[in-house]
Amino acid sequence: MTQLAIITGDSPATLLARMEQELAAVPLPPFDDEWIVVQSLGMERWVRQQLALRQGCAASLVMPFPAAFCRRLAVGLQRDTQFATGDGITIDVRYEEQALVWRLFALLQDPALLAHDIYEPLRAFLEGATDAKRYGLARRIAARFDEYRLYRPDVLVGWEEGRNDLTQNVHEPWQASLWRELLGAERPSHFARWFLSTIERLEEIGERPQGLPERVSVFGVSTLPPLFVRLLRAVARFVPVTFYVLLPDANSWKAGASGHPLFERFGQSSRDLLTTLLSPDAQGESPHTEHVATPRHTGASHLLQQLQSGLRTATVTPLAMATDDRSLTVHVCHSPMRELEVLRDQLLDAFANDATLRPHDVLVMAPDVEQYAPLMEAIFGHARSRNAEERPSIPFRVADRTMARESAPARAVSTLLTLVHARLTASEVLELLSQPLVREAAGMTAAQVDQVTGWIEQAAIRWGYDGSARASRHGVPPFEENSWRNGLDRLLAGYAAGRTEALVNGVLPVAGDLVGDTDLLGTFVAWIEQLFGQVDALQADRPLVDWTRALRECLAWLVASDDANERAAIDLVGQQLERLGELATGRPDGRAALFAADQSVTFEVVRDWVLDALASDEHTSGFLTGGLTLCAMKPMRAIPHRIIAMLGLDDRAYPRRLRRAAFDIMASDIRLGDRDPRADDRQLVLDTIMSAGDRLLLSYVGRSQKNNAELAPSIVVAELLDQLDLMCPGPVLPSQHLRVLHRLQPFSPDYFAQPEGGDTRLFSFDAHLAASVAGSAIRHDAPPFLPALPPARTLARDWQRGAEPLLELTIDDLVDTWLNPAKVYCKRVLQLTVAADDTLVEDVEPMAMDGLLRYQLQQEMLDRALHARRDLPRELALAVAGGALPAGALGAEWYERLRSELAPLLHRVGTPRFLDPLVVDVAGSDWVLRGHLGNQLPHEQWRVRAAKLNVKDKARAWIAHVVRCAATSPVTTRVMARDKELLLPPLTNAMQQLDFLVQGVRAVQTTPLPYFIEAAGAYRDKVRKGEPGIPAAAVAFAKDDDFGRGDIADPYVQLLWRGWNPVEECAEQFSALADGFWSTFDEVAGS
């Protein structure tokens, strides 16, 4: 007599309570395990937690997935004499999917085998194929064979008996032949044969065999292979087997029964399962059935409860929809990020209105968890670092991430493997080096990686190791410029030879501050050379055992950590790599080898295998581990939560579309119980509706970010809204009321200030954005850097002659001070250096000239022309060697274009014969100025600029003019630019003017000077016209648009004068400094 029972329930909680009651009614002996078969990690975790909460303890629970249950059952049955002598009682692991991949790969490499006529379809596909393509085909065939063993075991057994015509698929003959090749002369017990033989034996014998559990519970499944159902039916002859199936009502699944329209649309998977379960077994016996229902809700109920009640009773009754009902909502957003921003506000609203609600009561599901996980961290994770009053935090966990995304060592290995055949661009290599474990193994800190990034940009490194590697791997000419080898040589030459325009061993040195850290330079160069050595080594074919050794060595070189958790993650990746070698050597547990130990395998095949192994989610964690859970929309994931959100319900993303291979025999031989991902996804929506306690939020990208065009939702959303429209009589349809159309940006005023008649469902809990929209932004800027403004004073009044110690300074000190006194004060007085913005490296050699690069090259060309050092071929060679111009004809063409643009200015300049640089040594009453002035003629000095003249050029020229006139007899300074020419006549009061400039240098050593070059230029322009200068100076100071940037754009000005408006608040001192510097200039220059 069968002991099979089918218990259906309208909610997981109801089913769990019934299972708990069943287990408690007949408790097992203390040392016996309770077997509960589940089909998802989330369900397993939820059942354990709930049983522990209800009973105080949940021990001795064995909760395998169906495949694992079969393996454990096989091991147990081996102890029984009724099975020990039977044929096919053990499971041969050589016929599992991963083992089949390599065995099939070996067969597909055998030309003698494929020469048979039966393999004509394969020969056509594999003609000229690489090993990677053969391996890819082997993976696809293995996946099909793995599916056949569960859903078509009779076909596999028929093939073993020599039949090729069991289906209507034209590709069956060669698949049957391949299967027989895998078997050879033996008759092994693969999974399908084990199933069939075990079922047959269990149906034949009369006594209960040893090794069976005392009872088996199957909980929360909505679909199972019919073969597994048959096995459990056979087991039920000897021990109780109980299925707990989620089903809204007791009768809707039956043929001809009138069920709820939503169950008819979404419940195909559970209907098929129950049809299989409730059909009579081999002895004609039917299982016991029972339906447990959730107690009816009394009193007022919201829309979600009414919908659930209708599904439980299989009745379509009119639904009452209150205007403030938020139990079921559909949110239309413009992007996945906006979906999460909206979700955050919806959850904060729920927490604010219900003090009993906790983050662990919320479940968030998405079709592609990898798409939403980084956005989740950006939105929910960012909230944790913000002021709690502005944006309260919601703790969360992400489940179902692959090892390659969740594990830092796996991510590093994946990145390295993708680099082997890549162009090895600067950004790709830096992406690898920037990973913390890689950086630690390289012996660098995060700050040092930033410094190295600057070196890469300065050395103009773009891609490729060297010219020969570019030619051999990418089929381009073997040019060395902008390669890693060329860039490293430039850095090393800069360390050895310093800054020079001469080529050193064919490269142009890069020197200066960038290579001041010799230890770091050596570490960086060694790591890059080791990286390319690893890349080269990985391209060689080798046997699998050697591949494992090479990959383990690569892993040991690539990553390192002192953290115990990270070391455990590294060991886990190493274990995955060891599995590769075990394919050829066998495993310690006695499993045989699957691939020839001496057969070489290409890198592409090994790379695909490793990436597949690291893409597995078998080691995933984070499900129901505290806080809100974000997980993937996997079948049988409907776990009760008070709030459930389903994101990403887009037309193309959900439900999944089943795309079977052309050679898949199941496509032409469809049977009851076949796996249908699309039906499973629709079933998940139905189960989720029944599992949501208080609220169900559905969300999809329904508007284009580009033009706000409407995008279609998933068909399940459309069908749900259509059905609700039919069930809700009234002037406002649910498809209109439940659908919330969100704005493109979270700072839209509609979220903070609702106009009369506006949509009250639009709201935000972001106080920062709310205040910004209201015009009174809550700011948490740092306090002013200067506690008070410097006292108003003039340079001449505060620094009397002889009152200060002797000041020794250079001409550069004058220029630096009067162009940017804030920078001088921060760096020289406060010893503060503002970190530069992140350096963005380029990945391609220069093909076109931007404005800055064009100016730099033309200025260098101009300086060489002025000093008669112009050698056109050498000049071009230096530009190419420096990475500024591309190699070859394109670089020559750009050089000619730059030269022709500069020609008018060169013509005006002519060929002056400059004297040697003037040595300056000028002494004042309490100061000494030293330095050198170039571009000197007997009665003139020149300053030539390959661009338009600006205020900084005028300031530099004026300082040089004052110094020149004070150092010797007064001379003229000629300033030539592309747009104009400026003459500064001899200055008779040069020492007085120079003393003013020097006192500015002395002043900035003790106090900030409220002087700003751009603002001063605008100020003097207005003063010359007799107009007020301070308003124009304030505008120039704060300017930041497409037409220019003011003084405030400088990071040192931003830091030093933070919290102040120095032009207006220090107007008197600013005016005095600007007048003192520029008034004499305006007089002598006439402008």
Say what the pLDDT of residue 383 is. Answer: 47
Per-residue confidence band for 703, with pLDDT thresholds at 50, 70 and 90: very high
Query: Tokens 């032949």 identify what position?
Result: 177
Q: Which fold has domain 421-537?
A: PCRA; domain 4 (1.10.486)
Question: 682: burial class by Cβ within 10 Å (0-12, 13-18, 19+)?
Answer: buried
**From-to residues of CATH 3.40.50.300 in the chain:** 303-401+621-771
The CATH number given to 93-188 is 1.10.10.160
Q: Are 342 and 710 in contact (CB under 8 A)?
A: no
Q: Look at residue 797 in the predicted model and tell me its pLDDT.
A: 40
Q: Are 653 and 714 in contact (CB under 8 A)?
A: yes
**Enclosing H/E stretch for 1044:** strand 1044-1045
- Give the model's pLDDT for residue 717: 94
- State what percent of residues in the chain have pLDDT above 90: 26
Alpha helices in 910-1012 (DSSP H): 951-967, 990-1003
Q: How many helices and strands, by DSSP H and E, does the chain display?
A: 46, 21
Do the bridges between strand 1040-1041 and strand 4-9 make them parallel or antiparallel, or are there none, so unpaired? unpaired
pLDDT for 775: 61
Q: Six-digit token pair at 176?
A: 């049957």
Question: Measuring CA to CA, which residue among 583, 633, 669, 727 is closest to residue 171?
Answer: 669
Q: How confident is the model at residue 823 (pLDDT cuts 50, 70, 90)?
A: very high
Would the pLDDT of 29 be above 70?
yes
Q: What percent of the chain has pLDDT over 70?
A: 89
* HEC-encoded secondary structure of 264-285: HHHCHHHHHHHHHHHCCCCCCC
In this predicted structure, what is the pLDDT of residue 515? 52
Residue 798 has pLDDT above 50, yes or no: no
Q: What is the mean pLDDT of residues 423-446?
A: 92
pLDDT attached to residue 514: 55
- As a whole number, the mean pLDDT across the chain is 84
Would you say residue 620 has pLDDT above 60?
no
Please give the CATH topology (third level) of the domain spanning 303-401+621-771.
Rossmann fold (3.40.50)
Determine phi and psi for 703, rounding to 5 degrees.
Answer: -140, 145
pLDDT at 283: 66
* The amino acid at 26: V
Give span(s): CATH 1.10.10.160, the chain: 93-188
Convert the pLDDT of each residue in 952-967 to its tens digit.
999 999 999 999 999 9
Architecture of domain 4-86+195-292: 3-Layer(aba) Sandwich (3.40)
Alpha-carbon dihedral sign for residues 683, 684, 690, 695: negative
Q: Report pLDDT for 534.
A: 93
Asked whether 41 and 619 are in contact (CB, 8 A), the reply is no
- 27: phi > 0 → left, psi -120 to 50 → alpha, else beta; which? beta
Rounded CA-CA distance 134/566 in Å is 36
**pLDDT tens, 274-316?**
888 887 766 667 788 888 888 776 655 888 988 888 888 888 8
What are 31-63's pLDDT values in tens digits?
888 999 998 888 888 888 888 888 888 888 888
What distance lies between CA 203 and its chain's CA centroid? Answer: 53
Q: Under a CB-based contact definition with an 8 Å cutoff, are residues 952 and 820 in contact?
A: no
Range list for CATH 1.10.486.10 in the chain: 421-537
pLDDT of residue 739: 92
483, 461 contact by CB (below 8 A): yes
Is this structure's pTM higher than 0.85?
Answer: no
Say how far apart CA 20 and CA 18 lie, in whole Å: 5
Write the pLDDT tens digit of every residue in 971-1030.
Answer: 999 998 888 888 999 998 899 999 999 999 999 998 899 999 999 999 988 888 888 999
Q: What is the tens place of the pLDDT at every residue in 580-612?
A: 888 777 665 556 677 777 888 899 999 998 888
Over the stretch 221-246, which tens digit does the pLDDT of each residue have? 888 888 888 889 989 889 999 999 98
Numbered ranges of CATH 3.40.50.10930 in the chain: 4-86+195-292
Q: What's the confidence (pLDDT) of residue 695?
A: 93
What is the pLDDT, as a whole number, of residue 300?
59
What does the pLDDT read at residue 664?
A: 87
Tens digit of pLDDT for each residue in 828-881? 998 888 876 555 778 887 777 677 777 778 787 787 777 766 667 777 777 777
Phi first, then psi: give them for residue 954, nearest 5 degrees: -65, -40
pLDDT of residue 436: 92
pLDDT band of residue 385 (cuts 50, 70, 90) is very low
Q: Is the pLDDT of residue 729 over 70?
A: yes
State mean pLDDT over 714-730: 89
d(CA 744, CA 748): 8
pLDDT tens digits along 186-219 = 666 677 787 788 888 888 888 888 888 889 999 9
Three-state secondary structure of 580-642: HHHHHHCCCCCCCCCCCCCCCECHHHHHHHHHHHHCCCCCCCCCCCCCEEEEECCCCCCCCEE
Half-sphere exposure (Cβ direction) of 599: Cα atoms closer than 13 Å: 18
Nearest Cα neighbor of 676 from 1050, 222, 1068, 281 is 222
Q: DSSP string of 127-173? A: TT--HHHHHHHHHHHHHHHHHHHHH-HHHHHHHHTT---SSS-TTHH
Given phi > 0 = left and psi -120 to 50 = alpha, else beta, which region is 897? alpha
For the stretch 506-563, pLDDT in tens is: 788 887 655 568 889 999 999 999 999 999 999 999 888 899 999 999 999 999 988 8
Which pLDDT score, from 0 to 100, does residue 800 have? 45
